Amino acid sequence: MMKLGELIFGLLSEALGLEPNHLKELDCAKSLSLLSHYYPPCPEPDRTFGISSHTDISFITVLLQDHIGGLQVLHDGCWIDVPPNPKALILISNDKFVSVEHRVWANRSEEPRISIASFFMHTIPNEQVYGPIKELVSTQNPPKYRDTTTTELARHYLARGLDGASPLLHFRI
């Protein structure tokens, strides 16, 4: 998974017009946290929610889901189902780039639903400062967010809970 992360950050760097190692040198692929989700069949799925609307605090999330599904992403104000494909990985851009708000429905299936999320993130506490990438900022494209540390972002993220809003809004200029 670490090698995949390095590849993804290299491709993202190139897509942004940066040197291939740019994001890797910012330690985006330095740390990995793994979270397994187990959703048993829900007896009342219409009265229950799986995980409420949120964004992740990691650089990116790589998700492996089973054949049951339940993940939705917010796009142009509408919730869109992400079709389950156990042979595919889903990449979710998170709060350090362009955040993707997502949620998970309660399990409506007769069998358990399982997914595994790999979060590329920094260990906390971490006082490394992150901000707009200088090579991408100009007078035509000014920064939208102020510099912050991972510790400050995490403190704000954890204090507000899963309210659906990106914690980046707190750091908007």
Q: What is the rounded distance in angstroms from the CA atom of residue 96 to the CA atom of residue 119?
A: 12
Query: What integer pLDDT is reported at residue 50 of this predicted model?
Result: 84
- Residue segments in the chain with a per-residue pLDDT below the cut of 50: 95
Instruction: Considering only the C-alpha atoms of the chain, give the largest distance between any 2 of them, rounded to a whole number of Å.
Output: 55
Query: What integer pLDDT is reported at residue 121 of this predicted model?
Result: 82
Query: What integer pLDDT is reported at residue 165 of this predicted model?
Result: 65
Q: What is the rounded distance in angstroms from the CA atom of residue 63 to the CA atom of residue 56?
A: 12
Query: What integer pLDDT is reported at residue 26 of this predicted model?
Result: 87
Burial class (CB in 10 A: 0-12, 13-18, 19+), 59: buried
Query: What integer pLDDT is reported at residue 170 of this predicted model?
Result: 79
- CATH of span 2-171: 2.60.120.330
Query: What integer pLDDT is reported at residue 162 of this predicted model?
Result: 66
Query: What integer pLDDT is reported at residue 43 of this predicted model?
Result: 92
The pTM score is: 0.82
- List, for residues 68-81, the tens digit of each pLDDT value: 989 998 888 899 99
